[in-house]
Amino acid sequence: MSLDQILNDEERLAELDLDQLKQLVGLVEHDDSTDPFPVSGWDALVWTVGNAVQTAHFFQSAFGMELVAYSGPENGNRHHHAYVLTSGAARFVIQGAYDPASPLADHHRTHGDGIADIALTVPDVDRCIEHARRQGATIVEEPHDVSDEHGTVRRAAIAAYGDTIHSLVDRSRYSGPYLPGFVEKRSTFVKRPGAAKRLFQAVDHVVGNVELGNMDQWVDFYNRVMGFTNMAEFIGEDIATDYSALMSKVVANGNHRVKFPLNEPALGKKKSQIDEYLEFYCGPGAQHVALATNDIIATVDAMTAEGVEFLSTPDSYYEDPELRGRIGTVRAPIEELQRRGILVDRDEDGYLLQIFTKPTGDRPTVFFELIERHGSLGFGKGNFKALFEAIEREQERRGNF
Ligand SMILES: [Fe+2]
């Protein structure tokens, strides 16, 4: 496969090159021909929220995303509004019901704001569905074409954890702004003078929370149904504090663009943060979205200036001599990271910088991570304890600990 073919249209449009993507999201080369369920990458994270009008504004103002397409009553959508936003290769679709009878209203009543569909780009929808069916997956949408004057999209969908689905989308014969039913729409939101062109370049990973005892079943689902392979394994004490614990395993598609850590609660002295999520989301669902940035310091500063709140990290984290020794030299002075609460982790391949937002909706469920990779293909295992202690302090303040 040529290097040009490895990049998808969104990445080319975002002016990303292969070396940047290897660095940003740990992209590797992969031969699709032997893959039973080839996945090229992320298509979109499709959110169902209580107020799409305002959430779309939030992602433009606070996350620096660009509005590119829209579907709503003005162009024949009688059920909901949907705003399509991009940042580099990342695409979010924000949908909210305006018809009280819309299934989206039911979804929101049950789950609150959340990711209903982790849509993936595949080169051959029918081949994927055939394999998924043989493996016993639930097909929620059979393969079909949707067309308009811009061409044809072939799509289908399978069920994942909880009410989450994976749409499978082949848009190779389509040139419209998103999907048939959507019209091009540009932001009326004007960025501040001097604002960066974008605050993040791509989606790195999406974490799923499932019930106690179900993590291995979902790892098996991604292995067997979707041909994903296991990347790293974190279990038991690695990521436990005295009071809150979880187990986590990570699966990835062939080229590692799509990475799914899967968490389940583990027994601790008090309620696990995963249990809190499961209670308030009313079941399994997507817990956090990691956004890849090549300048986490600038991104944190820009988001903070727009009111995004990040979890704080105790000063002891940065002053711990053992941790400092392990981290060694990174691209910015530790004091710059400490001022913003940015975490550092190092493994045999390199290091990464990361930080987590507070939940961005009303419920203590979904939140974001910013991640800047420098060779490390990990997920911040070394930071889990420091991070969870910070999360627990927040959980305690909400009275759910
Ligand atoms: Fe993460």
Does residue 386 contact residue 241 with C-beta atoms inside 8 Å? no
pLDDT at 2 over 50: no
Res 244 pLDDT > 70: no
CA of 321 to the centre of ligand 1 (A): 25
Q: How many domains does the chain have?
A: 2
CA torsion through residues 100, 104, 109, 113, sign: negative
Q: Answer yes or no: do 283 and 312 share one domain.
A: yes
Q: Which tokens in the block code for residue 120?
A: 């993936």
Predicted confidence band of residue 348 (pLDDT cuts 50, 70, 90)? confident
378 Cα: distance to centroid of ligand 1 (angstroms): 9
pLDDT surpasses 70 at 107: yes
Q: Per the domain annotation, does 83 fall within a domain?
A: yes
From the CA of 149, how far away is ligand 1's center (Å)? 39
247: left (phi over 0), alpha (psi -120 to 50) or beta: beta
Q: Determine, yes or no, domain membership for 189.
A: no
Q: For residue 356, how far is its CA from the centre of ligand 1 (angstroms)?
A: 8
Q: Select the more confidently predicted residue: 379 or 146.
A: 146
Torsion sign across C-alpha atoms 70, 73, 76, 77: positive
Amino acid in the structure at residue 219: V
Q: End of a domain among 153, 184, 215?
A: 184
pLDDT number for residue 39: 96
Q: 118 C-alpha vs ligand 1 centroid, how far in Å?
A: 16
- Mean pLDDT on 122-127: 97
Per residue in 145-196, pLDDT tens?
999 999 999 999 999 999 999 999 999 999 999 999 999 999 888 898 889 9
Q: Dump the DSSP string for 139-164.
A: EEEEEEEEEETTEEEEEEEEE-STT-
Interval between CA 324 and ligand 1 midpoint (Å)? 22
Q: Kindly give the interhelix angle for 384-397 and 273-281, rounded to the nearest 10 degrees.
A: 50
As a whole number, mean pLDDT of residues 301-312 equals 96
Same domain, 135 and 252: no
pLDDT at residue 176, as a whole number: 96
Could you tell me the end-to-end alpha-carbon distance of the chain, in angstroms, rounded to an integer?
Answer: 51
Using an 8 Å Cβ cutoff, are 222 and 208 in contact?
no
pLDDT for 261 equals 94
- pLDDT attached to residue 239: 58
Residue 390 in this model has a pLDDT that exceeds 70: no
What is the C-alpha separation between 165 and 333, in angstroms, rounded? 42
Q: What is the C-alpha separation between 257 and 252, in angstroms, rounded?
A: 7
Phi, psi of 323 (to 5 degrees): -65, -45
DSSP 247-311: EEEEEE-TTSSSEEEEEEEE--SS--HHHHHHHHHTS-EEEEEEEE-S-HHHHHHHHHHTT--B-
Looking at the fold, whether 84 and 10 belong to one and the same domain comes out as yes
- Does 205 belong to an annotated binding site? yes
Q: Is 288 annotated as a binding residue?
A: yes
pLDDT of residue 80: 96
Report pLDDT for 233. 64
Question: Does residue 176 sit in the same domain as residue 265?
Answer: no
**233 and 275 together in one domain:** yes
Q: Which amino acid is at 229?
A: T
Angle at 253 between CA 248 and CA 285, to 5 degrees: 45
| Interatomic CA distance for residues 337 and 251, integer angstroms | 29
User: Does the annotation place 144 within a ligand binding site?
Assistant: no
- Same domain? 174 vs 232: no
User: Which residue, 128, 156, 184, sits at the end of a domain?
Assistant: 184
Determine the pLDDT at residue 8.
Answer: 79
Q: Is residue 161 in a domain?
A: yes
Same domain, 209 and 272: yes
Q: What is the DSSP letter of 400?
A: -
Give the Å distance between the CA of 379 and the centre of ligand 1.
Answer: 6
Within a domain: residue 197? Answer: no
Identify the three-state secondary structure at position 59.
helix
Find the 204 Cα to ligand 1 centroid distance in Å: 8
Instruction: Provide the residue range defining the domain that includes 390.
Output: 202-397
Same structural domain, 146 and 211: no
Mean pLDDT confidence for 365-386: 88
Band (91; pLDDT cuts 50, 70, 90): very high
Q: Are residues 221 and 140 in the same domain?
A: no
Give the Cα separation of 132 and 143 in Å (integer). 12
- Domain membership flag for residue 192: no
Q: Output 391 or 281, whichever has higher pLDDT.
A: 281
Residue 322 in this model has a pLDDT that exceeds 90: no
Q: Is 312 exposed, middle or buried (0-12, 13-18, 19+ CB in 10 A)?
A: middle
Arithmetic mean of pLDDT, 206-225: 96
DSSP string, 174-195: E-SSSSTT-EE------PPTT-
How far apart CA 338 and CA 145 sit, in angstroms, is 51
Ligand 1 midpoint to CA 290 (Å): 5
Asked whether residue 218 is domain-assigned, the answer is yes
**Residue 64 backbone class (left: φ over 0; alpha: ψ -120 to 50; beta: rest):** left
What's the pLDDT at 234?
Answer: 61
Instruction: Decide if 38 contacts 254 (C-beta within 8 A).
Output: yes
Mean pLDDT for 46-62 is 97
Average pLDDT, the chain: 91
Q: 228: CA distance to ligand 1 center in Å?
A: 18
Lowest mean pLDDT among 9-23, 70-84, 281-295: 9-23
Residues 158 and 253 in one domain: no
How close is the Cα of 74 to the center of ligand 1, in Å?
38
pLDDT confidence of residue 3: 47
Please report whether residue 41 resides in a domain.
yes
- Do 265 and 151 reside in the same domain of the chain? no
Q: Is 158 within 8 Å of 138 (Cβ atoms)?
A: yes
- CATH number of the domain where residue 176 is located: 3.10.180.10
Between 33 and 136, the more confident residue is 136
Q: How far is CA 105 from CA 73, 82, 101, 119, 185, in A?
A: 16, 13, 7, 20, 24
**One domain, residues 34 and 163:** yes
Residue 232 has pLDDT above 80, yes or no: no
pLDDT at 235 over 70: no
Whether 277 is covered by a domain: the verdict is: yes
The DSSP code sequence of 317-330 is HHH-HHHHHHH---
Q: Domain ends where: 136, 155, 184?
A: 184
Q: Please say if the pLDDT value at position 316 is more than 80.
A: no
CA trace torsion 125, 127, 128, 130 (10° rounding): 120
Task: Report the separation in Å between the CA atom of 60 and the middle of ligand 1, taken as the mean of its atom positions.
Answer: 22
Asked whether residue 79 carries a pLDDT value surpassing 60, the answer given is yes
Q: Residue 177: phi, psi to the nearest 5?
A: -70, -25
